[in-house]
Chain A
Amino acid sequence: MSYKQFILVCGGTACESNKGIALFTALKNAVEAHGLVNDVQVVRTGCLGFCEKGPIVKILPQDTFYVEVKPEDAEAIVGEHIVKGRVVSRLLYDKNQSKTNVGIEGIDFYQKQFRIVLRNCGVIDPDKIDEYIARDGYKALEKVLFEMKPEEVTAEVLKSGVRGRGGAGFPTGKKWQFAAMQPAGQKYMVCNADEGDPGAYMDRSTLEGDPHSVLEAMAIAGYAIGANKGYVYIRAEYPLAIQRLETAIAQATEYGLLGDNILGSGFSFSIEIRLGAGAFVCGEETALLASIEGKRGMPTPRPPFPAVKGLWGRPTVINNVETLANIPVIILKGAEWFSKIGTHGSKGTKVFALTGKINNSGLIEVPMGTTLREIIFDIGGGIRGGKKFKAAQTGGPSGGIIPPQFLDVPIDYDNLAKIGSIMGSGGLIVMDEDDCIPDIAKFYLDFTVDESCGKCAPCRIGGRKLLNYLEKICKGTGTLQDIENMKDISEAMCRASLCGLGQTASNPITSSLRYFYEEYKEHIEEKKCRAKKCKNLLSYTILAAKCVGCTACARVCPVNAISGERKQPHVIDNAKCIKCGQCYDVCKFQAVTRA
């Protein structure tokens, strides 16, 4: 059966949770109602990336890109576009277009992107192995099994310069080399899919949209290091990704691409899924291994590194999802091709989950070396509501807060480290003038304090103390001595903690004290929050001249702090006011001021 047209519906978690499943069904029903089941296939794909405008529907071969599609729009898409060949302009990103072949070319969001990791996301049906195979899937595995020796595979990966995308950026090839060097015997290949940074969903999307690319890479890694057993450690909060992985493993096993004697090569490799309970620290590799072994997820000292002594004491390579998704492409296109992309020390691309105060939030993939300005203003479409850019946070809770003066720094591992942040797994949160820096630091500390495993003293105790100081500062009761104490604690945490979580937990504080010290000082000395976020530092007053005495504010005030006669100016009793801001929001006459 050959279809003439394809309707691709985004099946990422964001679109699915926005009535994407109903939309998919509605489109299928519409195709059936029009008697087109033999001509038009409706495909549920992985994430197309442009989450801000989801659910996304793409029509092939015309490449028409519809945004914010609702189930009710299914009839229009099938009846108008498919049957009559007329584009549904109201669903286009640019509503003024009328051509049918309005692809992503006109959308800024896609212009500077370069897709290696996400090559199949939004293109294939992740539940169908044939679609993956049709796009050269498992060709790299075939190539290594029949044309390359294990050490050649490792050498190729090493030459490509690809570094671990999970956080620290350790050269992947080196990791493989260490494990390969260990005496033969039971070895393990583990895929770290324990993505946990707030706002980050790169790995989830990759697994949801293209699970086979990761499975293929794990088998390649297994061949390179001499492991025949793989585990995917994934958090249980990712049900869709888990389901697609399960389907993919079953299909690959059925096709003989996983399991015993793969393609008759004599190499065997099987993969099992292990579910994590969502502890952030289990993304740290030694804690992750402990968790797979059924122990409490707590980091252990390294060395010995997992590549020497890992899962159940055996040599183990742990690679992150995004790292692995690069591997088949590196093998097929060659290390040389790959190493031409990116910067001197950071090769290839990086996937970011772009979120925060930005117009186009979504999943993007850009070459290493792209600047923050390009990401935020070109791809991201700038700051929401025309507000002013204040800072960006990369690397999640372990990262730093990057001020505007670094907007033009090409982003790679080394440059980010130089400006006090880290690449991390690829969360990128954009902040505007309404964001208060001490408050943001507090948000991240709150997260790391909650997620600390509690094993080592600097992190367990230091994190809480830092959070307490930040709470004090945001309440307006902080002192300059508190800042000095915070610096001491940050330093001790950074240098004496056992694992990456503790070592980096103070980064948001250290970097923001470096670049936004004035804002801390204002909170402490002037009791002022310029972003008007810290409610204890705010005071509300009613301008008598503007107040018409409509009583709206008095009615909404939960603590009866506002008094006044009808049609007379009202007054706020600051002793009673809890600074909830409801009067400010409800006043239609801008009579309530906040300072």
Chain B
Amino acid sequence: MANMLQLEINGIPVEVPAGTNILNAAKSVQVRIPTLCHHPDLPAWAACGICVVRQAGSPKLLRACCTEVTPGMKITTHDSDIVRVRRTVLELILANHPNDCLQCPRNNNCELQKLAADFGIREIPFPTDVPSIPVDNSTPSIVLNPEKCIKCGRCVQVCQGMQDVWALEFIGRGEKTRIAPAADVTLNESPCIKCGQCTAHCPVGAIYENDETRKVWDALRDPDKHCVVQIAPAVRVAIGEAFGKDPGTLMTGETYAGLRRLGFKAVFDTNYSADVTIMEEGSEFIERFTTNGTLPLITSCCPAWTDWMEKYAPDFIDNFSSAKSPQQMLGVLSKTYYAEKMGIDPAKIYMVSIMPCTAKKYEISRSENMFSSGHQDIDVVLTTRELARMFKSSGIDFLKLASEDADNILGSYTGAGTIFGVTGGVMEAALRTAYCLITGDAQPPAINFEMTRGMKGVKEAEIDIKGTKVKIAIAHQMGNVEQVLNSIREDRKAGRKPRYDFIEVMACRGGCIGGGGQPTGATDEVRKLRTAGIYSDDEKSKLRMSHLNPDVQKLYAEFLGKPLSEKAHHLLHNHYHSKKVYAK
């Protein structure tokens, strides 16, 4: 039992565990202290000065975000004096902000805008001064607009701390402080892995996804193009948030319907190719595991993670599954298998994918393997946020749409495919199939591998497949990954058998449901709800193991032969290369 402390906030008695900060103590009695730089994912950075409160007996104001409560504290959170200080600070921030809200990607969804509205700011008493700094749009994924930046430091903390990427840094000093990669190189020249967590945490419109909706609008109008689309597992549990639904609400059928209304000729589901991924990657694992191949096998579905590995851990290239990500598999299958079956010229197929992820925008051209259909396998990637905007701007009453089904041959999925959207999901899906393939059983004793689930940064387990032990590790949020790699490096150094056989990595916290392209405002609370949404999709699926997907079986029968066949290798696998970056 934690040591409980008593204090008073605005005269209300409060009892909270020792170590609680004033902000959370106030929350527990329904007092909301305004914040701007604070984010529950991150340690307090204390940059903005908006959350100041007063402790009785002290003339100084305290920052609620980073001051722990002490017994008997008497805190005032709101009075004319405190609000005046906060207001002046806010006015100062607004004086150096472009305030062009109408043209901002975060219009109506901006923490600074909301604060200004809450404070009833009607004019800024101080002369405005917005520095003119060029926009960095060097990557295909992320746009950094320093003019809008309020230097809250979230993106830097996310990039260096949570994600262990070290692309973003404060550069310059004092009023010239800005956020940019060290040495002021472009994001593309930096170690940026395009995970987009900076965009998901930015309170304003200073760093955001590269908006490519225009390309899709144009393609949809082009009579020579046959537009097809796929949606990733994590999109369906988050897109509703953009329309006021609770996080985790399953919107699969509505999204299919909406996409058809936008004009897509066929609507596919990345969950289908997730099932294919399991066939390829699962077979790859069984092959390596049973023939003394290179272990551990490490999943490679996440392009941010593969980019990080190529930059910071190229010593693990041989451990990588050569299987492409589900997005890329679906892309290549649409321009080969689907095109063949439908008699469509693949050059005319325009493949759009809807992803919870900004790194997926980078993945589609990351190497020549992404062109194995003879064309660029995927033409454009939109994030969940971009799709929501398309729905809104096309007059689709999204919430009232009747649910529809995905299109044939690349649209059906099992529960194993859908759980790719959460941390542990790829591993769980692989284990379900691997168990059956190794043992010949119809299904594992428990279909849910509970040890793969949950928000713990690194999950480890030993799976007993009828006497054969498979040791696994699952890491999510890039900052948690190096410790896993280091443990393998230790084993290598000592000449030991590696402690894990199979490792799953997802770059974002919680997995793809917490992706950098998802609706903003994700916290662990939100992530948990989205995760629950994914598992409920799995639970209600009739088939919950990838190898049982009849359309996948048909794919192998009609087109690929068998997993890891030569054709499968050509179309569904790829290579990795070491990349040079500056030291972390």
**A461 to B44, alpha carbons, bound, how many Å?**
20
With contact pairs A301-B44, A468-B127 given, residues A454 and B175 touching in the complex (Cβ less than 8 Å): yes
Cβ–Cβ < 8 Å partners of A463 in chain B: 174-175
Cβ–Cβ < 8 Å partners of B88 in chain A: 458, 462, 488-489, 491-492, 496
**A457 to B63, alpha carbons, bound, how many Å?**
13
Cβ–Cβ < 8 Å partners of B150 in chain A: 457
> Which of A279, A303, A496 makes the CB contact (< 8 A) with B68?
A303
Residues 22-64 of B at the A interface (beta carbon under 8 Å): 44, 46-50, 52, 60-61, 63
Query: Is A460 an interface residue when CB atoms closer than 8 A count as contact?
Result: yes
Contact with A along B70-110 (1 / 0, CB 8 A): 00000000000000111011001101100000000000000
B: interface residue count bin? 35 or more
Query: Is A497 an interface residue when CB atoms closer than 8 A count as contact?
Result: yes
Are A458 and B49 touching (Cβ within 8 A)? yes
Beta-carbon nearest neighbor of A492 in chain B: B88
Query: Is B454 an interface residue when CB atoms closer than 8 A count as contact?
Result: no
Beta-carbon nearest neighbor of A499 in chain B: B46
Cβ–Cβ < 8 Å partners of A460 in chain B: 151, 174-175, 177
Contact with A along B395-427 (1 / 0, CB 8 A): 000000000000000000000000000000000
Are A489 and B175 touching (Cβ within 8 A)? no
With contact pairs A303-B67, A495-B61 given, residues A457 and B127 touching in the complex (Cβ less than 8 Å): no
Query: Is A485 an interface residue when CB atoms closer than 8 A count as contact?
Result: yes
**A458 to B89, alpha carbons, bound, how many Å?**
6
Cβ–Cβ < 8 Å partners of A488 in chain B: 84, 88, 125
**A496 to B83, alpha carbons, bound, how many Å?**
11
Query: Is A449 an interface residue when CB atoms closer than 8 A count as contact?
Result: yes
Are B86 and A496 touching (Cβ within 8 A)? yes
**A347 to B8, alpha carbons, bound, how many Å?**
38
A142, chain B: closest CB distance, angstroms: 41
Cβ–Cβ < 8 Å partners of B92 in chain A: 457-458, 461-462, 465, 489, 492
Query: Is A91 an interface residue when CB atoms closer than 8 A count as contact?
Result: no
Contact with A along B116-150 (1 / 0, CB 8 A): 00000000011101000000000000000000001
**A145 to B68, alpha carbons, bound, how many Å?**
38
Query: Is B173 an interface residue when CB atoms closer than 8 A count as contact?
Result: yes
Query: Is A149 an interface residue when CB atoms closer than 8 A count as contact?
Result: no
Are A496 and B173 touching (Cβ within 8 A)? no
Query: Is A326 an interface residue when CB atoms closer than 8 A count as contact?
Result: no
With contact pairs A303-B67, A464-B129 given, residues A453 and B173 touching in the complex (Cβ less than 8 Å): yes
Beta-carbon nearest neighbor of A464 in chain B: B175
Beta-carbon nearest neighbor of A451 in chain B: B174
> Which of B60, B68, B125, B174 makes the CB contact (< 8 A) with A454?
B174
Are A454 and B170 touching (Cβ within 8 A)? yes
**A457 to B35, alpha carbons, bound, how many Å?**
13
Are A457 and B48 touching (Cβ within 8 A)? yes
With contact pairs A461-B92, A498-B46 given, residues A453 and B86 touching in the complex (Cβ less than 8 Å): no
A: interface residue count bin? 20 to 34
**A437 to B68, alpha carbons, bound, how many Å?**
41
Are B63 and A452 touching (Cβ within 8 A)? no
Query: Is A455 an interface residue when CB atoms closer than 8 A count as contact?
Result: yes
Query: Is B66 an interface residue when CB atoms closer than 8 A count as contact?
Result: yes
Contact with B along A437-463 (1 / 0, CB 8 A): 000000000000111111111101111
Contact with B along A276-295 (1 / 0, CB 8 A): 00010000000000000000
Contact with B along A463-499 (1 / 0, CB 8 A): 1110010000000000000000100110110011110
> Which of A279, A457, A489 makes the CB contact (< 8 A) with B47?
A457
The CB with the most chain B CB atoms within 10 A, among A449, A461, A462, A463, is that of: A461
Query: Is A300 an interface residue when CB atoms closer than 8 A count as contact?
Result: yes
A455, chain B: closest CB distance, angstroms: 5
Cβ–Cβ < 8 Å partners of B48 in chain A: 456-457
Query: Is A296 an interface residue when CB atoms closer than 8 A count as contact?
Result: yes
Are B93 and A452 touching (Cβ within 8 A)? no
The CB with the most chain B CB atoms within 10 A, among A303, A455, A457, is that of: A457
The CB with the most chain A CB atoms within 10 A, among B50, B60, B61, B126, is that of: B126
Beta-carbon nearest neighbor of B44 in chain A: A301
Cβ–Cβ < 8 Å partners of A489 in chain B: 88, 92, 126
A334, chain B: closest CB distance, angstroms: 35
**A495 to B52, alpha carbons, bound, how many Å?**
8
Cβ–Cβ < 8 Å partners of A453 in chain B: 173-174, 177
Beta-carbon nearest neighbor of B172 in chain A: A454
Beta-carbon nearest neighbor of A502 in chain B: B49
With contact pairs A301-B66, A454-B151, A468-B127 given, residues A461 and B93 touching in the complex (Cβ less than 8 Å): yes
> Which of A452, A456, A461, A462 makes the CB contact (< 8 A) with B46?
A456
Cβ–Cβ < 8 Å partners of B46 in chain A: 300-301, 456, 498
Beta-carbon nearest neighbor of B127 in chain A: A468
**A496 to B60, alpha carbons, bound, how many Å?**
9
Are B52 and A496 touching (Cβ within 8 A)? yes
**A456 to B46, alpha carbons, bound, how many Å?**
7
> Which of A451, A454, A498 makes the CB contact (< 8 A) with B63?
A498
Cβ–Cβ < 8 Å partners of A485 in chain B: 125-126
Are B95 and A465 touching (Cβ within 8 A)? yes
B116, chain A: closest CB distance, angstroms: 14
**A488 to B127, alpha carbons, bound, how many Å?**
14
Are A461 and B174 touching (Cβ within 8 A)? no
The CB with the most chain B CB atoms within 10 A, among A301, A485, A498, is that of: A301
The CB with the most chain A CB atoms within 10 A, among B85, B95, B96, is that of: B85
Cβ–Cβ < 8 Å partners of A450 in chain B: 174
Query: Is B176 an interface residue when CB atoms closer than 8 A count as contact?
Result: yes
B567, chain A: closest CB distance, angstroms: 52
Cβ–Cβ < 8 Å partners of B84 in chain A: 488, 491
Query: Is B282 an interface residue when CB atoms closer than 8 A count as contact?
Result: no
Residues 140-199 of B at the A interface (beta carbon under 8 Å): 150-151, 153, 169-170, 172-177
**A460 to B131, alpha carbons, bound, how many Å?**
13
Are A492 and B89 touching (Cβ within 8 A)? yes
Beta-carbon nearest neighbor of B46 in chain A: A301
B568, chain A: closest CB distance, angstroms: 48
Are A465 and B126 touching (Cβ within 8 A)? yes
B39, chain A: closest CB distance, angstroms: 15
Cβ–Cβ < 8 Å partners of B176 in chain A: 454
A-B residue pairs in contact (CB < 8 Å), sample of 23: A449-B175, A451-B174, A453-B173, A453-B174, A453-B177, A454-B172, A454-B175, A455-B151, A456-B47, A458-B49, A460-B174, A461-B95, A463-B175, A489-B126, A492-B49, A492-B85, A492-B89, A495-B52, A496-B85, A496-B88, A497-B49, A498-B49, A498-B63
A-B pairs with the 3 shortest C-beta distances?
A454-B177, A496-B49, A492-B88
List residues of B whose CB falls within 8 A of some A CB: 44, 46-50, 52, 60-61, 63, 66-68, 84-86, 88-89, 92-93, 95-96, 125-127, 129, 150-151, 153, 169-170, 172-177
Known: A303-B67, A489-B88, A489-B126. 11 other contacts (CB 8 A): A301-B66, A450-B174, A452-B174, A457-B47, A457-B89, A458-B49, A458-B92, A460-B174, A488-B88, A489-B92, A492-B89
